Chain A
Amino acid sequence: METLMAFAVGGLYAAAVYMILRRSIVKLVIGLILLSNAANLLIFTAAGMDRGLPPLVPEGALVPDGPVADPLAQALILTAIVIGFGVLAFAVVLIHRAYEVVGADDMDQMKDTDT
């Protein structure tokens, strides 16, 4: 399963980089979305994939009995998803405004501020 996930993560990174390098700013944002999801999946995979081991402490006990899955990784991913969602929402609005102001969906026409 880890191997499969590793390939999925790698594929997502590759697709994201490809999309970011496109000229269209809409594709650029799609690339960013893929990228943030790739990172989330990477954390998910790297933190270990355990199946059917809920991290619950039985009633009356102080520690769970036996091995449990690591809940922290999911907390991290949840945080990253929320942050990513906010930032990407901003990015979508930004490219919309940029499209209105520049009048084109093309990075090549946005070179005025470069040097």
Chain B
Amino acid sequence: MTTVVALPVIIPLLAGAVSLALWQSRLAQRAIGVIGTLALMWVSVDLLLATWREGILVMHMGNWQAPFGIVLVSDMLGAIMVVLTAIIGLAVAVYSLSGVSARHEHFGYYPLMHLLLAGVNGAFLTGDIFNLYVWFEVMLVASFALLILGGERAQMEGAIKYVTLNLLSSVLLLSGIGLLYGLTGTLNMADLAVKLDDVDDPGIITVIAMLFMVSFGIKAAAFPFFFWLPASYHTPLVAVSALFAGLLTKVGVYALFRVFTLIFDQDVGYTHTLLLWMAGLTMLTGVLGAAAQFEIRRILSFHIISQIGYMILGLALFTPLAIVGGVFYIMHHIIVKANLFLVSGVVHRLKGTHELKKLGGLYRTHPWLGVLFMVPALSLAGLPPLSGFFAKFILIRAGVEVEAWWIVGVALLVGLLTLYSMIKIWAEVFWKAQPDGGDGQAAAVSGQGGGLWLMVLPIVGLALMTLFIGLYGQPIYLLAERAAHEMLNPALYIEAVLGGRTT
């Protein structure tokens, strides 16, 4: 029974197709949006449990055995990511019921959302490097269309940069895959890991590894490749921003984790030192960029970048504890970051703007929203007892253990600056008095005017998850530990996929 591995890809594709067929009926599309993501949630949790019980699950597509056929592989890391995708998908689908206007729905918001989820899940589950490229493209095409939904000037300008740099990244990935295929004659990731060990030319492997690092670095928005992100993430619908912020860059991070633990572990001294510098500079530039911004979504966009640095830090230190920290950080970050964007959407609904200068006084009128903002915001900065504290704690502990003092210093400093940024939003949006002339254009902007509670419901849900990870982190830590164990022992993955054969 390994069909369960394919279900997280099939269900969103199916939901997307059905909602495309029901193009005329907005009601049906919205119902399918929620039902489809609920079903996705069901099968992903099922997949996670099955992977936990039985170890790495492998599905040979069309029963063509690896390495000749394409495989879908669900190891712990992949299964965790799929569950997170489902959580964000469900949260955004519920949020969209009230947060996406009829005009956007008419342009095909729901089918595109399902397609994006399918692409993301495909990338997490595939065990074939060329297939990974294909899923990246599925995801990208859906994200292109979602990004320009609405057709405003800012969206067009942001989309040009987004599209260009992401296409560049795809081409670099394709070049890397081509060279890798020329070198080894295989595309199966497990088989690649085996065959690369026999290649006696470390130089060419490092060159190919660099192509992958740059390509995934662009996708993950790591330093110095992140410029497309702050130029585009604040332009689309808030629901789309939240979906992107939660998932897209993390696919790049996932790919880095996958490729640099499984395939390119020959010259760890070189590649992972480079990753360490990348991580440090990503953290710093991201948080400094955020400090200079005065628009909620721009601040949050820059914080995505700085948080990506922490995740790459986990990979770069390459000790068991550091990898656990990296995986834990991804879990914490996806939930928190998507939640912050959703909160910014509610602020926009209430006040009609994202500009800090025009906002204020929300704590007086909506104290509950202040609390809902504080949970993810303080978690992002890493205050106990929220999830971000443990994520940062594990990583910094790992850094201390290998005595990488400067990166520990950077990580702590960036945590402090993150707190500064979050307090800035808090003070400007919630605490200070409402400046003159900024009020009164409420709900009109969002267009729909549906129930506000539908927008708040997913925020409450995600905030509860943040609290849960913070207060009862042990099961989450165990999940991350198992994922790290599998990543640091690629033999497990290879054994599961190739079944002992090394042809």
Interfacial residues, chain A to chain B (CB-CB below 8 A): 20, 25, 28, 32, 35-36, 38-40, 42-43, 45-48, 70, 72-73, 76, 79-80, 83, 86-87, 90-91, 94-95, 97-98, 101-102, 107, 110-115
Chain B at the A interface: SS class: helix
B23 is an interface residue with CB less than 8 A from chain A: no
Contact A76 B181 (CB under 8 A): yes
Contact A101 B167 (CB under 8 A): no
CB-based nearest B residue for A40: B174
CA of A103 to CA of B144, assembled, Å: 21
* Chain A residues whose CB sits within 8 angstroms of the CB of B234 once the complex forms: 113
* Interface pairs A-B: 10 shortest CB-CB: A46-B182, A43-B178, A98-B156, A110-B157, A39-B174, A113-B158, A39-B171, A83-B137, A46-B178, A101-B153
Contact B164 A28 (CB under 8 A): yes
Contact A47 B174 (CB under 8 A): no
Contacts known (A43-B174, A46-B181); A20 close to B231, Cβ less than 8 A? no
Could you list some 16 contacts between A and B, CB below 8 A? A20-B164, A36-B174, A38-B171, A42-B178, A42-B179, A46-B178, A46-B183, A87-B170, A90-B145, A91-B167, A94-B148, A101-B152, A102-B157, A112-B154, A112-B157, A114-B230
Contacts known (A47-B178, A102-B153); A94 close to B298, Cβ less than 8 A? no
B412 is an interface residue with CB less than 8 A from chain A: no
CA of A80 to CA of B164, assembled, Å: 17
B163 is an interface residue with CB less than 8 A from chain A: yes
CA of A32 to CA of B140, assembled, Å: 15
* Chain A residues whose CB sits within 8 angstroms of the CB of B206 once the complex forms: none
Interfacial residues, chain B to chain A (CB-CB below 8 A): 130, 133-134, 137, 140-141, 144-145, 148, 151-154, 156-161, 163-164, 167-168, 170-171, 174-175, 177-179, 181-183, 185, 187, 230-232, 234-235, 289, 292-293, 298
Contact A113 B151 (CB under 8 A): no
Instruction: Determine which of A25, A36, A87 lies in contact with B160 in the assembled complex, contact meaning CB atoms within 8 Å.
Output: A25
CB-based nearest B residue for A99: B156
CB distance from A113 to the nearest CB of B (A): 5
* Chain B residues whose CB sits within 8 angstroms of the CB of A114 once the complex forms: 161, 230-231
CB distance from B91 to the nearest CB of A (A): 26
* Chain A residues whose CB sits within 8 angstroms of the CB of B163 once the complex forms: 90-91, 94
CA of A35 to CA of B144, assembled, Å: 19
CA of A16 to CA of B157, assembled, Å: 21
* Chain A residues whose CB sits within 8 angstroms of the CB of B168 once the complex forms: 20, 32, 35
* Chain A residues whose CB sits within 8 angstroms of the CB of B164 once the complex forms: 20, 28, 32
Contact B153 A87 (CB under 8 A): no
CB-based nearest A residue for B173: A39
CB distance from B88 to the nearest CB of A (A): 24
Instruction: Determine which of A35, A45, A46 lies in contact with B167 in the assembled complex, contact meaning CB atoms within 8 Å.
Output: A35
CB-based nearest A residue for B234: A113
Contact B182 A94 (CB under 8 A): no
* Chain B residues whose CB sits within 8 angstroms of the CB of A107 once the complex forms: 160
* Chain A residues whose CB sits within 8 angstroms of the CB of B148 once the complex forms: 94, 97
CA of A46 to CA of B174, assembled, Å: 12
Known: A76-B181, A80-B174, A113-B232. 12 other contacts (CB 8 A): A36-B167, A36-B171, A42-B179, A46-B181, A87-B137, A97-B151, A101-B151, A110-B156, A112-B153, A113-B161, A113-B231, A115-B230
CA of A64 to CA of B259, assembled, Å: 34
CA of A96 to CA of B225, assembled, Å: 26
CA of A70 to CA of B415, assembled, Å: 52
Contact B156 A102 (CB under 8 A): yes
CB distance from A90 to the nearest CB of B (A): 6
